Amino acid sequence: MTMKYYSTNKTAPKASLEEAVIHGLAPDRGLYMPEVIQKLPAEFFQQLDKLSLQEIAFTVANSLFGKDIEADVLHTIIQETFSFDIPAVEVEHNIYSLELFHGPTLAFKDVGARFMARLLQYFIRKDQTETVSAPHRVNVLVATSGDTGSAVANGFLGVDGIHVY
């Protein structure tokens, strides 16, 4: 069974991952959240220090999206999204912080924007393959200043089927 996503405003119908990604916001203007978040196995946490960023990201993403996206496709999305380092830096004894500003625009939003762009690309391609429709473009309007606009624009840059304004 595939995952369903509910709106944080709780008045919109539940959505599939594809619907949530394509629409962005729920019809009631809420954010989509997964109905269930599976607990990761203890072994994952026991070997965490031996895993690469991409391996950690794949394991977590696969637990959320594994029934909706093929493993090889999800692996490719993870590799393209996390093409830069995200170091864990010790703040004080036994307390660490992830430095999320090592991406192409030096903003923490690089992670989410790059992942979202590649998920959207996957669903655009999937839809075109299933419907045998003519290729169409998705237009993304970046309408903010500061690091959000540049991170979103860069995250979608060069992604087939998506044009950024």
| pLDDT tens sequence across 26-48 | 999 999 999 999 999 999 999 99
pTM of the model: 0.85
| pLDDT tens sequence across 66-122 | 889 999 999 999 999 999 999 999 999 999 999 999 999 999 999 999 999 999 999
Q: Which of the residues 14, 50, 109, 126 is marked catalytic?
A: 109
Give the pLDDT band (50/70/90) at residue 163. confident
pLDDT above 90 covers a percentage of the chain that reads 68
Helix ranges restricted to H, 24-144:
42-46, 53-65, 71-81, 109-131
As beta bridge partners, residue 98 has 88
Q: Among 82, 45, 77, which Cα is nearest to 62's?
A: 77
Residues 6+ apart with CB under 8 A from 142: 149, 152, 153, 164, 165
For residues 91 and 21, what is the distance between their CA atoms, to the nearest angstrom? 35
Question: Can you give the pLDDT at residue 77?
Answer: 96
**Is position 109 annotated as part of the catalytic site?**
yes
* Residue 162 or residue 11, greater confidence: 11
For residues 130 and 88, what is the distance between their CA atoms, to the nearest angstrom? 41
State the DSSP H helix or E strand holding residue 149, giving kind and residue range, or none if neither: helix 146-156
